[in-house]
């Protein structure tokens, strides 16, 4: 059996959808007829999406003027914030960014916590703020 031909036929008949949708039978579906209601995506698919999303974030943050001045831990903070808020959302933290460019990481951490985002995500913001200030990994990750 020619698996490539089968895949082409399925793509032709099912179509390819990159966003979830409800099929004609009412099931939440994605990709090439993948029924999410009866079969969640695999861990392999989850990891592939995560890697793709991380690559997208990295392409953006590596262009930041202060990026190369940050240690690895603070880079992880920026990546995490972009992942959660989107790049444009993270860029709205103007006072935090000014503090980072001035190497005032304590003030940057204060600005992170003085936000609607911090109130929404709670412990995540506290952890990232501590990482920004200290430049060290939290115990939960270390």
Residue 54: what are its φ and ψ, rounded to 5°? -65, -40
What average pLDDT does this structure show over 75-101?
97
Of the candidates 91, 5, 33, the one whose C-alpha atom is nearest the C-alpha of residue 100 is: 91
13-21 long-range Cβ contacts below 8 angstroms, 24+ apart: none
> Could you give the CA distance from residue 139 to residue 129 in angstroms, rounded to a whole number?
14
Share of the chain above pLDDT 70, in %: 99
**Domain limits, the chain:** 3-35, 65-134
> Could you give the CA distance from residue 115 to residue 117 in angstroms, rounded to a whole number?
5
The model's pLDDT over 12-35, given as tens digits with 9 standing for 90+, comes to 999 999 999 999 899 999 999 999
pTM: 0.85
CATH class of 65-134: mainly alpha
Collapsed DSSP state (helix, strand, coil) of residue 28 = strand
The vertex-123 CA angle with 50 and 132, nearest 5°, equals 80
Collapsed DSSP state (helix, strand, coil) of residue 30 = strand
pLDDT at residue 91 above 70?
A: yes
- What's residue 78's pLDDT? 98
The model's pLDDT over 41-73, given as tens digits with 9 standing for 90+, comes to 999 999 999 999 999 999 999 999 999 999 999
pLDDT at residue 142 above 80?
A: no
């Amino acid at each position: 059996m020619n698996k490539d031909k089968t895949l082409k036929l399925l793509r032709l008949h099912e179509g390819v959808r990159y966003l979830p949708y409800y099929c004609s039978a009412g099931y939440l579906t994605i990709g090439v007829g993948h029924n999410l209601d009866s079969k969640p995506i695999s861990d392999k698919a989850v990891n592939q999406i995560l890697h793709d999303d991380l690559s997208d974030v990295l392409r953006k943050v590596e262009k930041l003027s202060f990026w190369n001045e940050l240690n690895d831990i603070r880079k992880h903070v920026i990546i995490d914030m972009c992942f959660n808020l989107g790049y444009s959302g993270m860029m709205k933290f103007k006072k935090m960014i000014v503090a980072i460019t001035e190497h005032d990481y304590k003030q940057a951490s204060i600005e992170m916590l003085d936000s609607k985002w911090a109130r929404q995500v709670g412990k995540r913001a506290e952890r990232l703020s501590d990482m920004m200030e200290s430049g060290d990994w939290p115990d939960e990750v270390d």
